[in-house]
Structure 1
Amino acid sequence: MYQPLECFSKNWIFKRNDPKVEPEDLQEIRLLSEQRAAQIWRDYISDEQVHPDHFTDKDWLKKTTDKAPITKLQWEKSWDSDQASLPDGFLAHFDAWGDDTTVFFCCHNELIFELKWGIFKRTWKTFLFLDNGPVLVGKKKKQAAQFHSNGWVNLLFRET
């Protein structure tokens, strides 16, 4: 179900001093096995596409919704700043999530991290070294987000 973080080719992102991931948080960041990642990807992201670059207008991530008052916001300014927390608008989108909510940070169908929402909120800057379209979803939750390398994040609602 899991594999060691050392198996991740860019595991250096978790070893940096800036942003620093505390050892107790690092222990709770799990890299899914490729088989488990593929299952989560199919269940939560797409059963047709294997990478964010391949999403089409048929995929739920590309569909617009009127459920979110703000559908897009800038994450890069907060990332570049000394501010430790995620942008307020981002946090507001996920305000129904408790810190113990299981979340999946989905880079592609074979690369997914599992951790708790509280840990993601503390370590988000580390994860955004992987900003080429990853999708954040919560287990059994409708709210989602897709990060883009242009510094923007789409706030989404997952179809269930």
Structure 2
Amino acid sequence: MSYLTLDEYQRKWIFSHHSMPVSEQDLESIKPMTPARASQLWKENISAHSPDVDRLSASDWPMKDANWKETLDWMIAWESDEQCLPVGIDEFLNWQDDVTVYFCYEKYNVIETKWSVFKRNWKNFLFYDDGPILIGRRRKEALWFDSKGNVKLGYRD
């Protein structure tokens, strides 16, 4: 099996927090990966050697400045009462709603969902903002969030 149930997921509370409830339908589409599957995806798409963003090497694509086009503020939108993504993200990605996305917290903690589900619930995903990277299946575009309220918009190698 490649996924944990949400009940098995250590950070389940981010999707059941009373201040930001997630619909039952969306909860069914939020799939935390097993550590083994998350590790495989991380190695193939983020870094073959580093277990988290704090230890990425200069040869890992996220560490190459040329891969990043722009930096935006996400914290203002997160703190607002509106659910929409920070201005500029949706325009940059321009993905169809059914694109499979991977929200990568670290090597053993990756969540798979659909772009539409992420857009509706992005604030929940960012309860943990310690450097997660969002990538899409068969897409070059990527987002890299930091705990200072910034998100880098760029492209994977």
TM-score (normalised: structure 1): 0.93
Within 2, Cα distance between the matches of 1:3 and 1:119? 18
Matched with 2:119 is: 121
Asked if structure 1 preserves the Cα contact closer than 8 Å seen for 2:102 and 2:111, the reply is yes
Q: How does 1:31-46 map to 2 (within 5 A)?
A: 31-46=32-47
Q: Deviations over 1:28-62 (max 9, x none)?
A: 10011111111110111110111011113221112
Within 2, Cα distance between the matches of 1:57 and 1:38? 20
Within 2, Cα distance between the matches of 1:63 and 1:93? 19
Larger CA deviation: 16-25 vs 112-121: 16-25
Q: How does 1:17-32 map to 2 (within 5 A)?
A: 17-32=18-33
Matched with 1:101 is: 99
Matched with 1:86 is: 85
Q: Quote the RMSD (CA, aligned, Å).
A: 1.3
Matched with 1:12 is: 13
Matched with 2:71 is: 72
TM-superposed deviation, 1:147:
0.7
TM-superposed deviation, 1:7:
2.1
Within 2, Cα distance between the matches of 1:136 and 1:67? 13
Within 2, Cα distance between the matches of 1:44 and 1:134? 13
Among 127, 140, 143, the alignment partner of 1:142 is 140
AA of the residue aligned to 1:128? L
AA of the residue aligned to 1:14? F
Residue ranges of structure 1 left out of the alignment (5+ in a row): none
Asked if structure 1 preserves the Cα contact closer than 8 Å seen for 2:67 and 2:156, the reply is no
TM-score (normalised: structure 2): 0.95
Within 1, Cα distance between the matches of 2:67 and 2:54? 24
Larger CA deviation: 117-126 vs 54-63: 54-63
Larger CA deviation: 78-87 vs 55-64: 55-64
Cα 1:4–1:67, aligned 2, differ >3 Å: closer, same or farther? Answer: closer
SS of 2:142's partner is strand
Among 128, 131, 136, the alignment partner of 1:133 is 131
AA of the residue aligned to 1:26? L
User: How many equivalent pairs are there?
Assistant: 156
